[in-house]
């Protein structure tokens, strides 16, 4: 099965449309959460996701915030404004969709969650220490995560206790060997100083992972965000990917 693996769309419909087109025909779409937040098209992103084959979509922290499952009093003022804007914009159907999202799922030899297997919605796996600890919190060969918006993988080699970090090559399929925690990078708000949308193609038979980047019309998204008076900081970061 050819699976399109995406995460952290953040209401960026233009980026999502570009990724789906660029990916070509997929047998399934696995979305690791944060469908909404920051961007201007929350409902449209959910509608487009629901049209995808064999969709699995997990709950992200921004999704939880948008449907009031999360206390946002500690968020900074811009983040709060963005959450409130999204909350007010969500259709009843979108709200129902987000409410039903699972926090963690096992699909064949893969565990799927937004942040980490240990704390599925909130934990950031940014370094080898957090990754190493998380290897004891899932039993499958692989674990796919999002949340950090960084396309990185952590793997355990031989009998080493500590995991190692690597960045997969772009447009080149690599064979994943047990065990790996891997992040496809963010569709709608990359934070690795590369503004292109990020995603991956996973082959469930060959266990191959092909990490890809694709340019999308950042300008259009920025214009739409400005027309809705969304926070300027969230607008400018899109063009340089931070
Ligand atoms: Zn996110």
**What is the whole-number distance in angstroms between the Cα of residue 148 and the centre of ligand 1?**
7
Q: What pLDDT does 129 receive? A: 96
**What is the whole-number distance in angstroms between the Cα of residue 99 and the centre of ligand 1?**
17
Residue 173, C-beta contacts closer than 8 angstroms, at least 6 positions apart = 201, 203, 206, 208, 209, 210
Four-CA torsion 111, 201, 239, 62, nearest 10 degrees: -30
| Ion ligand 1 residue ranges (Cβ < 5 Å) | 8, 34
**What is the whole-number distance in angstroms between the Cα of residue 75 and the centre of ligand 1?**
14
**What is the whole-number distance in angstroms between the Cα of residue 10 and the centre of ligand 1?**
7
pLDDT band at 183 (very low <50, low <70, confident <90, very high): very high
**What is the whole-number distance in angstroms between the Cα of residue 33 and the centre of ligand 1?**
8
Q: Model confidence over 152-173: pLDDT tens digits?
A: 999 998 777 899 999 999 999 9
**What is the whole-number distance in angstroms between the Cα of residue 160 and the centre of ligand 1?**
31
DSSP string, 133-197: HHGGG--SSEEE--SS----EEE--TT-SS-EEE-PPBT--EE--SSEEE----SS---SS--SE
Q: Model confidence over 84-125: pLDDT tens digits?
A: 999 999 999 999 999 999 999 999 999 999 999 999 999 999
Whole-model pTM over 0.95:
yes
d(CA 107, CA 56): 9
**What is the whole-number distance in angstroms between the Cα of residue 147 and the centre of ligand 1?**
5
């Amino acid at each position: 099965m050819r699976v399109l693996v995406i995460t952290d769309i953040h209401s960026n419909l233009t980026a999502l449309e570009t990724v789906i087109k660029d990916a070509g025909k997929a047998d399934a779409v696995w979305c690791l959460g944060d469908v909404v937040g920051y961007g201007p098209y929350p409902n449209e992103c959910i509608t487009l996701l629901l049209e995808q084959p064999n969709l699995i979509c997990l709950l992200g922290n921004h999704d939880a915030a948008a449907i009031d499952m999360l206390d946002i009093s500690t968020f900074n003022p811009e983040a709060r404004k963005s959450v409130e804007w999204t909350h007010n914009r969500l259709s009843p159907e979108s709200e129902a969709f987000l409410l039903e999202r699972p926090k963690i799922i096992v699909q064949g030899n893969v565990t799927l969650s937004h942040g980490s297997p240990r704390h599925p919605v909130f934990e950031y796996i940014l370094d080898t220490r957090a990754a190493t600890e998380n290897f004891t919190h899932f039993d499958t060969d692989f674990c796919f995560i999002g949340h950090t918006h960084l396309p990185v993988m952590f793997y355990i080699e031989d009998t080493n206790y500590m995991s190692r970090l690597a960045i997969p090559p772009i447009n080149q399929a690599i064979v994943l060997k047990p065990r790996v925690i891997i992040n496809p990078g963010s569709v709608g708000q990359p934070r690795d100083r590369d503004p292109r949308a990020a995603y991956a193609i996973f082959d469930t038979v060959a266990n191959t992972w092909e990490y890809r980047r694709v340019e999308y019309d950042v300008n259009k998204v920025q214009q739409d965000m400005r027309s809705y008076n969304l926070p300027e900081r969230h607008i400018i970061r899109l063009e340089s990917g931070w």
